[in-house]
Homo-oligomer: A and B are copies of this chain.
Amino acid sequence: MPLKTNDPTKKTWLQVPANSDFPIQNIPFGVFLTRDDIITIGTRIGDYAIDLGALHQLGYFKGIPLTDDIFLQDTLNDFISDGKKTWRLVRNRISEIFDITNKSLQNNDDHKNIVLFTLDEIEMQLPVQIGDYTDFYSSKEHATNVGKMFRDPENALLPNWLHIPVGYHGRSSSIVPSGTAIRRPMGQTLPDGADLPVFGPSKLVDFELEMAFITTDANVLGEPIPVEDAENYIFGMVLFNDWSARDIQKWEYAPLGPFLAKNFASSISPWIVTLDALEPFRVPSPEQNPTPLPYLRHTGKRGFDISLEVSITPENGSKTVITRSNFKYMYWSMAQQLAHHTVNGCKVNSGDMMGSGTVSGPSPENYGSMLELTWRGENPLKLKDGSTRKFIEDNDTVTMIGYCEKANVRIGFGEVSTKLLPVFQPKQK
């Protein structure tokens, strides 16, 4: 049965600009600091941020089993722990309150003054306290490109890749929301032809175009989540820039995987778009051949048609779109990733985040990293201001956007936009 929050004919009494990522069918969740210096949980419709803590205090969620302070928190973890049934009840109610036919809040200026904020009055925060963060490697095109460049062009995919949604653990503490500038990392690298490593700024800082999903409490330690149940434990998705220092990675990664090449920073979009809002945009995933082992087999459409786009904006320059990709290219589904992650009994908590891996498509113009777009720097990209890029330069801003579109409804993620600052300079003593 289709969810009523997804009804494409539904309209809201709030003004929603044409092509907004946030029509009344979206109703994402985020955390923001208000003009009164209060942190609250909220949603967004058009260019309004809506304070759910205040709405709850004013009685608009009456009848839904919620603790009094569930939205007066600085993370969504507890709300996410309440589970899918509660998420739906809350989104249904928000959808009703802002429906064009509903006058309760619409005609109450005092209440509107309390709950509605314009975007310049708020500052978006990290939406969850991320307990553990895992990054997958689930685009066949990306894995093939990397294999061609660094291993054997004839056997680009490693033997395990078609059997396992390959993944590894990342660092939660370095994940920041869109708008937080990051620094070029220092590190050890081995110059071409050298015998000994050197220390200095990474010369090959790259983005990785990814999406990530946020989980709820899914299991107890020792018990797996069956693949057909897995989506019930996925709260929603964000855009994800998995910053990477290619030269540091090359020297450090054998035999235990990437470490300092990744954990200097990772950036996410601040509004979590629920899996429910994405429901109308399901598509079949790419065919899997060989058929995966039984614990990874599922039925139905497990892909999502989400258009993705990355641009670079140099300091004082204009934006150049450098790639367009789509989440539907992912070979392994989110359900398969979560089932695989827990098949050994690994515990998954509310607020955990799992990245897709770089979302590269079939053509060079769909590649999800500078590494692939410039083929290791061999073919630099030309930007609108005439400058060229092999990798990301100091003071460049990398911006990713993502959205679904169908039946005149656009469900978008906003953006994750991050400026790369030069290396940290310690103060002189």
Contact = CB atoms under 8 A, between A and B. Distances in A.
A255 interface: yes
A168 B224 contact: no
Contact of A164 (B160, B188, B224, B424): B188
Main SS of chain A's interface residues?
loop
Size bracket, chain A contacts: 35 or more
Contacts of A397: none
A64 interface: no
A222 B424 contact: yes
Given A222-B182, A293-B188, A424-B222, A169 B259 contact: yes
A254 B183 contact: no
A236 to B, nearest CB: 20
B173 A252 contact: no
Contact of A295 (B171, B173, B199, B341): B199
A345 B185 contact: yes
A33 interface: no
Interface string A154-178: 0000111001101111111110100
Nearest to A185: B344
A142 interface: no
Interface string A195-207: 0111100100000
B221 A346 contact: no
Contacts of A221: 173-174, 176, 182-183, 265
Contacts of A222: 182-183, 264-265, 421, 424
A198 to B, nearest CB: 8
B341 A172 contact: no
A295 B201 CA distance: 13
Contacts of A168: 168-169, 256-257, 259
A223 interface: yes
Copies of this chain per assembly: 2
A255 B256 contact: no
Interface stretch (A53-61, A274-282, A347-355): A347-355
A170 B172 contact: no
A294 interface: yes
A263 interface: yes
A259 B167 CA distance: 7
B173 A260 contact: no
A166 B256 contact: yes
A17 interface: no
16 contacts: A131-B172, A132-B172, A134-B171, A137-B256, A160-B252, A163-B196, A164-B251, A174-B345, A183-B221, A185-B344, A188-B293, A197-B293, A199-B293, A199-B295, A253-B256, A255-B257
The 9 closest A-B pairs by CB, nearest first: A257-B257, A185-B344, A169-B169, A168-B256, A183-B222, A264-B344, A173-B347, A256-B257, A263-B346
